[in-house]
Amino acid sequence: MIKTIIKEQVREALKTCGFKASRDFVVEVPPNTEFGDYSTNAAMVLCKENKKAPKDLAEALIKELKKNKYFKKLKIDGPGFINIFLAPALYQKVLWEMHEKGVDYAMSDYGKGEKVLLEFVSANPTGPLNIVSARAAAFGDTLYRVMKYVGYAPTREFYINDAGNQVDILAESLELRLREIQGERIGEFPFEAYHGEYVKHLAQKLNAQEGNRVFMMTEKDRMDHLKEFALAEILDMQRSSLDKFDVEFEAWVSEKTLRSEGVVEEVLSYLTEADCTYEKEEAIWFKSEEYGDDKDRVLMKSDGSITYFVPDLAYHLTKIQRGYTTLIDIFGPDHHGYVPRLRAAFRALGYDDSMLEIIYLQQVNLFESGEKVKMSKRAGKIVTMDDLIGEVGKDAARYFFIARKANAHLNFDLELATQKNNENPVYYCQYAHARISSIIKKARKDKMTPRNYRWEHAQRLIKPEEHALIGKLAELPELLIQVAEYREPHRLTVWAEDLCALFHRYYSKHRVVVAKNKELTRGRLLLMERVRSSLAVVLDLMGISAPDKM
RNA sequence: GCGCCAGUAGCUCAGUAGGAUAGAGCAGCAGCCUUCUAAGCUGCGGGUCAGGGGUUCGAAUCCCUUCUGGCGUGCCA
């Protein structure tokens, strides 16, 4: 908000001075407070087209800008930066504007209602969700919340891979465990089978419900029955983990259902019509290399079954048919080899593949006693999302997962995270919220809170620490837009930590509730209300609670 | 081999979209509670931004290249 105001003023000054300004310049917070509250590189960026030395241009601009009452001091530094010291009046005005707009002053219609489909987690329904899924859940959900807040029309979807090889293996694993329970000797458990304890639990549950009834069925019926049972149970497990994480999906799309609707045949015929398939070694191939992939890919295997790619492509096409213009997939690092063929298919079918956007979340490395924990679904060695939530809590887990850029590896130290009183910054932010709540409670008790805040209250704020807080608050509208646009939720945590640091510093230097000075107290309360609600908004966007006391 | 991602303080990571003297937390050291919550604050030390070249007024950021690490490179999903 402040940057926008300053930029506006600089533009006007440029105009009044008669300078050309075709290139864009920036207004930013300088690295050092000696350089002022804000600075702009306008003079350097525009010096060439105006055929003037940066410093001359800057000088002319400053002369003009000095007429503005919001600028206390202006000077040229370095190669031609214009450094700006703001008058308290501007901070006060901005705070007052935020107050008048209310808690959601940072909300906007930036996204213009664009329909965005966010697909994430989409874990195989063959076991409990692991911590990589947890990372995807936290990341995707936060991105969803922010996009919605700034005016997009996003939807969250979970694609269920409930057809294909892995489901057969799941059913076979379950059958073996069931036989085991019934006293059969099954020998060594097959390497490919799912080794996790949960398969045993499923078997016990099924055994309790149905005894050996399943073994009366024909083999085909039995496999179908086991599949159905296992899928339903596991999906329930996954859903409940996500519930605990406060992550909801607008839709769960089943691959099996898609297949039964005939989309597989449809997609195959589209690709054939587009003349980009051929037969080789009794399989049907897609000429993906012609469309930018490394090599051609199999669509239908020689045994007549379909590869994962076909229904997945069909699923993506339904997204377009349903009117989404941006398709965001949040994938794990092991999927990047897969994406070129998806893009290739988009191009082959005449769709703009730039509407497909992939965010790769790098892996989560789990550390215990300084050693990396090796996880494997197949071998059953896994730390689940539930384990994690149980140990560190939803708030800390969500915070931790979004605190890093998507394409950075995430090292998760279990011991560190299991300590409740650790240095996890989530406590730092929540503590700030609790502290402010406490101040406001105290003010209310002392009958210092006004019925209505007035502009005069804002005018009592003259301390640099107060201006710093207002400056940070004023960044929020732009920040949220950037988080949405660049798909970078981690910036929320950076901002929250900055704001809280400014608050804690302010807290230790100045008292808010000053018994002898009611008007000053009210000015400061006005600011504190705004800090608290902004923090609460951001914590909520991250899916983290904002406690009133700790 | 080829492709994708990464490499910033002892550790975990930011770095505002090309800007000024590269920042924070933790760890280490030294201080601060008769006041609205010390889960806090203040100060100190800590760097060849993996190496090299280029682009320009200006590079951690863009381009090229080398090195190191992770992942991918199935008629698995």
Q: What DSSP string runs through A179-245?
A: HHHTT----SPPSSS---HHHHHHHHHHHHHHTTGGGGS-HHHHHHHHHHHHHHHHHHHHHHHHHHT
Please report the pLDDT score of residue A78 as a whole number. 81
In this complex, the residue with its CA at the shortest distance from the C1' of nucleotide B13 is A404
In this complex, the residue with its CA at the shortest distance from the C1' of nucleotide B23 is A31
DSSP labels, A343-378: HHHHHHTT--GGGEEEEEPPPEEEEETTEEEP-BTT
Q: How many angstroms is C1' of B46 away from CA of A414?
A: 27
What does the alpha-carbon distance between residue A530 and residue A514 come to, in Å, rounded to a whole number? 19
Q: How many angstroms is C1' of B27 away from CA of A411?
A: 17
Residue A441 tokens read as 């409670």
Q: Distance between the two ends of chain A, CA-based, in angstroms?
A: 32
Q: How many angstroms is C1' of B40 away from CA of A434?
A: 12
Task: Tell me the nt nearest to A41, Cα to C1'.
Answer: B19
- What's A125's DSSP letter? T
With beta carbons less than 8 A apart as the criterion, state whether A433 and A496 touch.
no
Q: In chain A, count of helices (H) and strands (E)?
A: 20, 15
In this complex, the residue with its CA at the shortest distance from the C1' of nucleotide B58 is A79
* H or E, element range at A396: helix A394-402
What does the alpha-carbon distance between residue A245 and residue A395 come to, in Å, rounded to a whole number? 8
- What's A306's DSSP letter? B
How many angstroms separate the Cα of A165 from the Cα of each of A171, A193, A316, A458, A486? 10, 11, 21, 65, 36
The two beta strands, A115-119 and A326-331, are: parallel
In this complex, the residue with its CA at the shortest distance from the C1' of nucleotide B72 is A337
Strands of A410-413's sheet in order across? A371-373, A364-368, A410-413
Task: Tell me the nt nearest to A365, Cα to C1'.
Answer: B70
Interface pTM, i.e. ipTM: 0.94
Task: Tell me the nt nearest to A406, Cα to C1'.
Answer: B5
In this complex, the residue with its CA at the shortest distance from the C1' of nucleotide B14 is A494
Task: Tell me the nt nearest to A301, Cα to C1'.
Answer: B75
With beta carbons less than 8 A apart as the criterion, state whether A510 and A467 touch.
no
With beta carbons less than 8 A apart as the criterion, state whether A98 and A105 touch.
yes
Task: Tell me the nt nearest to A483, Cα to C1'.
Answer: B16
With beta carbons less than 8 A apart as the criterion, state whether A249 and A156 touch.
yes
- pLDDT tens string, chain A, 550 residues long: the values are 899 999 999 999 999 998 888 788 889 988 888 888 999 999 888 887 788 888 888 999 999 999 999 999 999 988 889 999 999 999 999 999 999 999 999 999 999 999 999 999 999 999 999 888 999 999 999 999 999 999 999 999 999 999 988 999 999 999 999 999 999 998 888 888 998 899 999 999 999 999 889 999 999 999 999 999 999 999 999 999 999 999 999 999 999 999 999 999 999 999 999 999 999 999 999 999 999 898 999 999 999 999 999 999 999 999 999 999 999 999 988 888 899 999 999 999 999 999 999 999 988 877 766 666 666 555 556 678 998 888 888 998 999 899 989 888 787 776 666 655 556 789 899 999 999 999 999 999 999 999 999 999 999 999 999 999 999 999 999 999 999 999 999 999 999 999 999 999 999 999 999 999 999 999 999 999 999 999 999 999 999 999 999 8
What does the alpha-carbon distance between residue A222 and residue A392 come to, in Å, rounded to a whole number? 40
Q: How many angstroms is C1' of B63 away from CA of A116?
A: 33
In this complex, the residue with its CA at the shortest distance from the C1' of nucleotide B32 is A508
Q: How many angstroms is C1' of B44 away from CA of A423?
A: 21
Q: How many angstroms is C1' of B33 away from CA of A429?
A: 21
What does the alpha-carbon distance between residue A300 and residue A286 come to, in Å, rounded to a whole number? 9
Residues constituting chain A: 550
Q: How many angstroms is C1' of B30 away from CA of A88?
A: 36
- Give the residue among A75, A76, A108, A89 at the shortest CA–CA distance from A5: A89
* H or E, element range at A44: helix A42-50
Residue A51 tokens read as 């055929």
With beta carbons less than 8 A apart as the criterion, state whether A468 and A502 touch.
yes
Give the global pTM.
0.95
In this complex, the residue with its CA at the shortest distance from the C1' of nucleotide B57 is A79
What does the alpha-carbon distance between residue A33 and residue A31 come to, in Å, rounded to a whole number? 7
What does the alpha-carbon distance between residue A85 and residue A393 come to, in Å, rounded to a whole number? 44
What does the alpha-carbon distance between residue A470 and residue A140 come to, in Å, rounded to a whole number? 30
Please report the pLDDT score of residue A418 as a whole number. 61
What does the alpha-carbon distance between residue A169 and residue A179 come to, in Å, rounded to a whole number? 15
Q: How many angstroms is C1' of B77 away from CA of A474?
A: 46
Please report the pLDDT score of residue A49 as a whole number. 79
Q: How many angstroms is C1' of B44 away from CA of A258?
A: 64
Nucleotides of chain B in contact with protein CB (under 7 A) are: 2-7, 12-17, 19-27, 35-42, 57-58, 70-77
Q: How many angstroms is C1' of B68 away from CA of A405?
A: 21
